[in-house]
Chains A and B, each alone.
Chain A
Amino acid sequence: MSSSAEILSQAFTLGYTYTRSTGPIVGQFLTALRDRKMVGIKGSDGKVLMPPVEFDPVSAQALSEFVDVADCGVVQTWSWVSEPRKAHPSDKPFAWALIKLDGADTPMLHWVDAGDAAQMSTGMRVKARWAEKTQGLISDINGFVPEATTLSEDYQTNEAEEPITGIDSPSYLTYNFTAGGATARYLAELKKGKLVGQRCPSCENVYIPPRGSCAACGVATTDEVELTNKATVESFTIVYIPIPNNPIKPPYVIANLVLDGANISFLHLLSECKNEDVRIGMRVEAVWKPEEEWGYAMENIQYFKPIDEPDVPVEEIGKLKKGGR
C-alpha cells in the first residue's frame, strides 16, 4: 500500500483570445455603439428586441429590421455588487441591472454606477454614460447612471467607417488543479529522483505515470513498483513545429517510451542522437537535471538518450513477461 501523499495543487490557466465574427446583426449593433447610438431589432410579433438578435426567439425567423432605441430607460431589476472583482467593469461597488431602454420591449443587461445601493431602485430611470473613446464593443457604454446625473460630453468621435464584423474575445480561466492521490505520490517520488509506477492487481500490468486505476480492468491500483531509468522506444515522431512558450527547437524527437518493467508508454524527448537514427525498439535512458533543480515534475528528466544495448524485439516492448524483465 502506498503511504498517504501530500496534496499537490497548481494554478492552471486555460485560455485564448478568440477572434469572433459577429455576423451582420450583432455587427450592426456594435457599429452603432461605436457611434454612440443604440439599435434594437423588430421581432416577428412587432416587439423591439434589445440588444438585437439574429433569429426570432419565438418564430425562428431571421430578423433584419433595425429600430433606433433611446440611450436611456428604466431599471427593471438589479443586483448590487459590493465587492467588485478584477473582471468586473468597475472597481467601485456597482449594480448589475436589466435596463429597458425607451423604445425597446426587452431589457438589456448592463451595469449602473449609482455610488451606493441605497440609490438603486426598481423603476428608476437611468441613462448611458458613453466612453470617451469608443471601439465597437459593449464597453463603449461605460455603465449607466441615474438620469439626473450630469455627464461631461467631452467625447472623441471614432472616425472608423468600416462596419464591425469581428471582435477579440479574450477568455482565460484560471483553475486550481489538485493532483489526485496517485499523481501526487508519483510526483513526490519524482522529486526524489525516483520513477515509481503502480501495478494493477488484476492484470499485473504496471502503469507509469500511475493514475490510481487500471482502465482495462476497472480496478484501483495501489501496489507501487520502482522502475529504472532505462526504457525502450515504442514509437516516435519527429516534430517540425515549435511548441508555444517551449524552448525546444524543431526538429525534435518526441518518443513513446516504455520504462523497463512498465507496460504502458509515456511521451518524452529523445536527444543526444541523430534524429534519423531513432527507431522502434531502441534502448534509451533518462538524463536527469542536476538534483537541486528537481521539483514535482517529469521535467526533472531533461530527456532520454540512446544507450549501447541491443534493440528490443517489437513484440516484447511493454509486454508482460514471466518473471519480469
Chain B
Amino acid sequence: MAQLAAVVGVGQTKYKTKRGDVSIAGLVREAAQNALNDAQLTWDDIDAVILGKAPDMFEGVIMPELYLTDALGCNGKPMLRVHTAGSVGGSTAIVAASYVQSGVFKRILTVSFEKQSESNAMWALSNPQPFSPHLNAGAGGYFAPIIREYMRRSNAPYDAGIKVAVKDRLHGAKNPLAHLQLPEITMKEVEDSPMLWEPLRFLEACPSSDGACAMVIANEDLAEQSPGKPAWIRGAAMRSEPTMYAGREQVNPQAGRDCAKDVYKQAGIDNPRKDLDCAEVYVPFSWYEPMWLENLGFAEEGKGWELTMSGATSLLEGGDIPWNCSGGVLSSNPIGASGMIRFAEAAQQVRGEAGDHQVDGAKTALGHAYGGGAQFYSMWVVSSEKH
C-alpha cells in the first residue's frame, strides 16, 4: 500500500525567451531555491534529487545532470535524471512522488528545466536523419495533420483553436511568471497571425522559453509539519505507446485514455468535469485543448470543442472547469519544465497559492503532460484533502 505524499513547496523562474543572465546551473538553482524557500526548508532537509529535462540536443550539454549536481545540492545524495520527451516534467514529478510514496525517501527535491535560447528548439526536434528525406518541420508540422483529422471528424468550427489561443493568453496575463504577456489579445489578432503549419497559425503555437520549475515532495508526517498548505497527491499515472504502428489512433490516443482512467480511479474521480475544480493540461498547439478534453473524458468524443466554445474552460468567463489558468504551454514553454509546470500549477491551485489566476476554492486539480509523438503521458491529481 502506497504511503501518502504531498507537494509542500513550489518554485518557478520567470519564463522568457532568453535568460542571458544565468547559466543552466543558475537557472535550475533559482527554481530549486524558490521551492525550498516556499517549503521553508534548506538543502540539508532534502534526501534525494530527481531531475528532468527534454532532449540534450536543446542545449548541447550531454548528461547535464552530472554538471548540475553542485547547483542542486546533491553531494552525498542520490540523484536521478528522467527523460520522456515533452512529458518529462510530469514523469519526473511522478518518479519523485513514487519514491516518497514507497517510503524509500522522506523528502525529495524535483526539478525540471529547459534553456531553449541556447539552440533552436524547432530544428533540434527535426534534424535531418540519415537515409530519410528531411520533410519534418518541427513539432507543429508533426501535429498539424493530426489536428486536421480531428477537425474533420468533429466538425468543429474553424475558430475553436483561435478561441483557445486567446483564452490561454488571457489567463497567462494573470500570471506574472508567464512568458507571453498578451492582455489585449483578440480572436482577430490570432486569426490574422501568419499561418505556419496549416491549420496552425503562429499565435496558435507555443513560444520557446527559458525556465525551470521545482517542487519539494514530502511524506505524510513531514507534509503535516510543513508550514504551508500541502497539495496531497491523490493519484499518479504514466502510460506510453509506440509512435508508429499500423492502426494507431493518433487523434485520441489509447495511452492517454488509459492513463486518465488509471489516475481517476486512484483519485476516486467518476466525472472529471464535475469532480475536478480545474486542470493544467499540456496544450502546446491550440487545438489540443478540445482534443484532450475528449481524450481525458471531460467531453464525449467529437464534443470537446463545444466546451471550449462555451467558455467552460475559461477562468475569465466563469467556466465550470477552467483549463490552464496559468496560461498553459501556449503562454510559457521551456519544454523539459512544461510538464512539471502543469503539475506544480495544479498543486498551487489546491494550496490556494495561485495568485491572480486562482480558481476560487479549488480543492482538486489535474496536472497533465504528454510528449514525443503524443506517445508518453503522465498525469496526477492533487487535492487539498488527504482522502
Contact = CB atoms under 8 A, between A and B. Distances in A.
Interface stretch (B136-144, B310-318, B351-359): B136-144
B246 A214 contact: yes
Contacts of B43: 59-60
Contacts of A166: 20
Given A165-B20, A235-B146, A267 B131 contact: no
Given A237-B145, A239-B141, A280-B148, A200 B246 contact: yes
B195 A55 contact: no
A62 to B, nearest CB: 7
A3 interface: no
B71 A54 contact: yes
Interface string B62-93: 00000001111101000000000000000000
Interface in A11-42: 12, 14, 16, 18-26
Contacts, number: 175
Interface in B110-143: 115, 117-120, 123-124, 127-138, 140-141
Given A187-B131, A239-B198, A264-B246, 4 more contacts: A21-B115, A171-B60, A237-B145, A240-B194
A21 B198 contact: no
B245 interface: yes
A216 interface: yes
B207 to A, nearest CB: 15
Contact of B60 (A18, A56, A299): A18
Interface residues of B, number: 60
Interface residues of A, number: 69
B127 A14 contact: yes
B245 A216 contact: yes
B137 A53 contact: no
B105 interface: no
B156 interface: no
- The CB with the most chain B CB atoms within 10 A, among A21, A57, A177, A241, is that of A21
Across the A-B interface, the 4 shortest Cβ-Cβ residue pairs:
A23-B23, A205-B246, A60-B73, A235-B145
B145 A299 contact: no
Interface in A222-269: 234-241, 243-246, 251, 254-256, 263-264, 267-269
Given A239-B197, A240-B196, A203 B246 contact: yes
Which interface residue of B118, B130, B144, B248 has the most chain A CB atoms within 10 A? B130
Given A23-B22, A54-B26, A244 B196 contact: no
Nearest to B73: A60
Contacts of B141: 237, 239, 241, 254
B265 interface: no
Nearest to B150: A235
A58 interface: yes
A10 interface: yes
B119 A237 contact: no
Contacts of B25: 23, 54-55
Interface string A147-167: 000000000000000000110
Nearest to A55: B70
B1 to A, nearest CB: 33
B198 A238 contact: yes
A226 to B, nearest CB: 18
Contact of B197 (A183, A237, A256): A237
A297 interface: yes
A18 B247 contact: no
Given A57-B70, A264-B244, A244 B130 contact: no
B274 interface: no
Interface of B: 18-23, 25-26, 29, 43, 57, 59-60, 69-73, 75, 115, 117-120, 123-124, 127-138, 140-141, 144-146, 148-149, 152, 194-200, 242-248
Contact of B119 (A8, A16, A238): A16
Given A203-B246, A240-B198, A297 B23 contact: no
B118 A19 contact: yes
A96 interface: no
B156 to A, nearest CB: 15
A114 B152 CA distance: 71
A245 B134 CA distance: 10
B133 A299 contact: yes
20 contacts: A16-B119, A18-B118, A20-B118, A21-B20, A21-B115, A23-B21, A55-B70, A57-B70, A169-B118, A179-B131, A205-B246, A237-B144, A237-B148, A237-B198, A239-B197, A245-B134, A255-B145, A263-B246, A264-B244, A264-B245
Nearest to B70: A55
Contact of B133 (A16, A177, A298): A298
Contacts of A8: 131
A294 interface: no
A296 interface: yes
B152 A314 contact: yes
Contacts of B60: 16, 18, 20, 169, 171
A207 interface: yes
